[in-house]
Amino acid sequence: MHDHLPQPRREQALPVARPTRAGLMALQSAAGNRAMGRLLSVQRNVGIELEDSKWSVVTDTRPRKRVDKGVPIAVRDEFQLQAEDAGTGSVLEIVSHPPGVMDPGGLEALIRQIGETITQLDKRATGKKFRALKLKDGCKGFLLESKDPFTPFAQVTVGVPLARIPQLFAALTQARAAVVQGPKDSWPHQAAERIVDSPSPDLTGLIHLLRSYLVAGDRGDSARTLKGLVRAMSRTDFATLFTMIPADEQRVIRDRQELWVAALTDELAMGGDDRASAPVFSQHLRYDNKGITFGHRNHTSRRDWLEGMSARGVDLLTARGKAGFLEGGERAESLRAGIEWAPPKMGPAQLLQVLEEIHEGLGALGPRVDQVAHRDEPESTPAAIIELREIPDGLDWRVALRRIYQCVHDVISQEGQHPFSYVRTADGEARRRAAGKLADALSPEKKGS
């Protein structure tokens, strides 16, 4: 590794807490299903992001200015219309409120409200700027513009236990709900059997997801972004996912690192006989944001990545795993390790921001997971948060969202034979408080008229 660089105090993955079901059901009974969805981080959470690069947003000031990513433009009960970075400007993105929809009623309410706002946008797609206040629940201080209807690129986020990942990928493909890539059905289990005796479904699911990353990066061509390579991207980092397999399997893998790496990298094309030393992603990538453009390549090796998550509790594809708690120049130096690039000249603060963005996306939620509480089990099951980044061509976002929701429900409940409920988490409480503060700040009397 890079011994000459400052060694970060890395934030190692800790075992995921499993809330008990008894307390959860009492809270659910008191709050009610829909109310609980507003208060808590819930399983069967399905969220959506809809971005349209043809719709621009600027400040309603002189001179006009770009709007920072994530700034709310309109806040509805079920979602937020917000700014998203695009080159030197800002575009529009619709993002459902966390933790996502929890039942068919919530799903249809989300679809209905998004449809209403898209209709309002389309009526004003004249090529002339108009104030965001013209939209229902629009915010003061922004101008929107497009000459085209709102035709978004859709991304859907779901929570699913590791053991159900292979079935989810198969269901999504069969339903033509999302485009995913992964190994052949029997490959993950066969690879797991090379490492441990009688592998658990959790280990098989983890290997399925890991292999999908390794296959995606096993090409020498070019791609626009790292996020664009992975069709089913884990927002939970892989160091945390590793702690979600049984403890005895974790111990075996730590003791059999060579076998672990060999099993996961078998039959990959890049790297020849030394394929474990090849980068996880062999492609040359492109950074293009806020007027800064350059090519780069991440040389983090397959071996370092797989050994990092299993033996040291860090995901080296993430900024958190690579730089830990370092700050300033030391953090920038640590993030630069293994990155082949030739960026334009920039100041220290801008350099650090760019390096953070290069690592953005993969494992960006760190240790955050969802939880599944099956009715016949005393403890909840942690679930990986996965972003489905490619919807089949020509498929309307409404159809895709309904299909994905149904796939997630059927896979986790095993076609209704293994019912599950919703789980309160500390993370959910934090997000609830944040959403409440946002709603207060953007109440009608504070938005202007």
What is the full DSSP assignment across 119-184?
A: HHHHHT-SSS-EEGGGSTTBPTTEEEE-SS----EEEEEEEE-GGGHHHHHHHHHHTT--------
At residue 430, the pLDDT reads 55
Distance between CA 295 and CA 288 in Å, rounded? 9
CA distances from 400 to 48, 166, 206, 240, 281 (A): 10, 19, 25, 29, 28
Q: Is residue 391 part of a domain?
A: no
Same domain, 361 and 416: no
Q: Is residue 378 part of a domain?
A: no
At residue 178, the pLDDT reads 97
Q: Is residue 173 part of a domain?
A: no
Write down which residue in 352, 370, 388 finishes a domain.
Answer: 370
Same domain, 416 and 277: no
- Show the tokens assigned to 314: 């860090």
pLDDT values of the chain reduced to their tens digit, one per residue, 449 residues: 444 334 444 556 766 655 443 443 444 344 443 333 333 333 336 889 999 999 999 999 999 999 999 999 999 989 999 999 988 899 999 999 877 776 788 899 999 999 999 999 999 999 999 999 999 999 999 999 999 999 999 999 999 999 999 999 999 999 999 999 888 878 999 999 999 999 999 999 999 999 999 999 998 777 777 777 899 999 999 999 999 999 999 999 999 999 999 999 999 999 888 999 999 999 999 888 888 999 999 999 999 999 999 999 999 999 999 999 999 999 999 999 999 998 899 999 999 999 999 988 789 889 998 888 777 777 888 999 999 999 999 999 999 999 999 999 999 988 767 666 545 455 544 554 555 555 455 544 444 44
Q: What are the b/e assignments for 209-226, b being 16+ CB within 10 Å? A: bbbbbbbbbbeeeebebb
Write down which residue in 330, 354, 370 finishes a domain.
Answer: 370
Question: Please, where are the H alpha helices in 153-268?
Answer: 165-174, 187-195, 201-216, 238-242, 247-255, 257-265
Same domain, 337 and 437: no
At residue 362, the pLDDT reads 84
At 386 the three-state DSSP class reads strand
Q: Is residue 296 part of a domain?
A: yes
Same domain, 43 and 83: yes
At residue 423, the pLDDT reads 53
At residue 184, the pLDDT reads 80
Tokens 């690879």 identify what position?
191
The residue segments making up the domain with residue 269 are 187-370
Same domain, 319 and 278: yes
Same domain, 120 and 212: no
Number of domains observed in the structure of the chain: 2
At residue 17, the pLDDT reads 58
Same domain, 432 and 285: no
The reported pTM is 0.85
Same domain, 323 and 417: no
Q: Which of 134, 127, 144, 122 is nearest to 56 (CA)?
A: 144
62 Cα distance to chain centroid: 36
- One-letter identity of residue 107: L
Same domain, 409 and 362: no
At residue 41, the pLDDT reads 33
Q: Is residue 436 part of a domain?
A: yes
Q: Is residue 178 part of a domain?
A: no
Instruction: Supply the Cα-derived Rg of the chain in whole angstroms.
Output: 22
Q: Is residue 377 part of a domain?
A: no
At residue 101, the pLDDT reads 78
Q: Which helix (H) or strand (E) holds 335?
A: helix 328-336
Distance between CA 137 and CA 81 in Å, rounded? 10
